[in-house]
Structure 1
Amino acid sequence: MVIAAFVGLWLIERGFESVEPPQPSAAEAFAAGSAPERTGWAAAAIPGGPAVASAPPAEGLPPSEPVRVKIPSIRVDAPVLPLGLGPDGSLDVPPPGNTNVAGWYKDGTAPGVRGTSVMAGHVDDSRGPAVFYALGALKKGSRVEVARKDGRTAVFDVDAVEVYENDAFPDRKVYGAAARPELRLITCGGGFEKKTGYRGNVVVYAHLTTVRPPAAPAS
């Protein structure tokens, strides 16, 4: 499928003195024999979340572009850039030198809409860590907040964090259609080799649990 072609394009040359990014442990993967939820879903409340937050509607949210992604547990707070496909069919990348930005595949599902939404970001460059450097450190139940253009914030809970070798990337598992609103966050991982770069990708699987309405206008 076309989306799979962009995964390898997030490989960035690293400085030889840089530190390996965290990799997910086996405990954060799906249990053996399990996979992302494909039929039905239930919302969960966010402990300590704003009182105005609510469970998402059963049909998910209407489409709206993401504008910012926050992952409090790993201190991610970054703008989201909509990305399309280049002439060769691969996903365009953010402007060079801007490491604190995530990319969203704009011709796919918007975050919060029923289906599978895909975001990707650099892990690092020769100067140091980038936006998704610590993605592999996420745990099951971690929160991902996606602010949307319509003012709503779609809040996702992490279901699993897995790492795959480049030649064994499970396209269907990662990009397959979902019956509930789901999110995938992708960056490079799986170890690094001087000649070929990163050997694989870290993938975070999450599902929508809560929706925060637009902020009330100041009186």
Structure 2
Amino acid sequence: MRYLVGTFLDRLRRPLMGMLVLLLACAPLVACSSGSDDNPLGIGTYDPEAAASAKASESAAAAEASASAAASAEAAGGVTAESLSTERHVITSIPEDLDELKTEVLKAFVHYDQVTWNIWFTRTGIEDAQPLMTAEEYQAFTEDFEGQDTGRTDGTVRVSVLSVDQSSAYDTTRAEVVYCDDQTDLVDYDADGNNVSGTVTSQARYKMSVVMVYEDGIWKEAAEEYLSTNECTV
């Protein structure tokens, strides 16, 4: 009888232990549920749809928090080389610890450079540059553009911004941006599709200086100067 009783108790313990394990496994899961009709003991069962929904909610919350942090950084004026880059106009580096005024100059310069490069890439949209340049500079840019053959430019230009400085501590309407312009990846084609690299855009690295002035409520390009060829790096 002792063996028979023990066997009976063992058989009774097994389902009870199984239920206990299932209860413990189900307790921390928000996706567990119970049905009183089909599950009189109230033991939770795993619901994959609820689990997926909970995971999606967590992911959405994390993405929202990340976007909010990025928006806050942008609102505070913080920029990075990556945030300033586009597919064909890549900023490889920018100076650190720029104050608010210099950050605005940097952003205006990068926007001007992107727009004017896009004009060279597509040979269209020259009017887009007009608000970003002084009248004298836009006139010179127009004459230079009209003097070139039609066609297109392929590749990526890489820009390392070396410095952003005000002309003087007392002049908040004039600043200078010095940068390295890497054009070695560019290939130029004429209207017939012939490679004319070297005649429209030289495949080299140029150290450049651009003067930006505050005019009509925005920063505009006012002068540009070549400083050296193939001596700077990006």
Asked whether the two chains share a fold, i.e. TM above 0.5, the reply is no
Greater RCO (CA < 8 Å, at least 6 residues apart): 1
If you compute each CA radius of gyration, which structure gives the higher value, 1 or 2?
Answer: 2
Higher strand share: 1
Give the alignment's TM-score, normalised by structure 2. Answer: 0.21
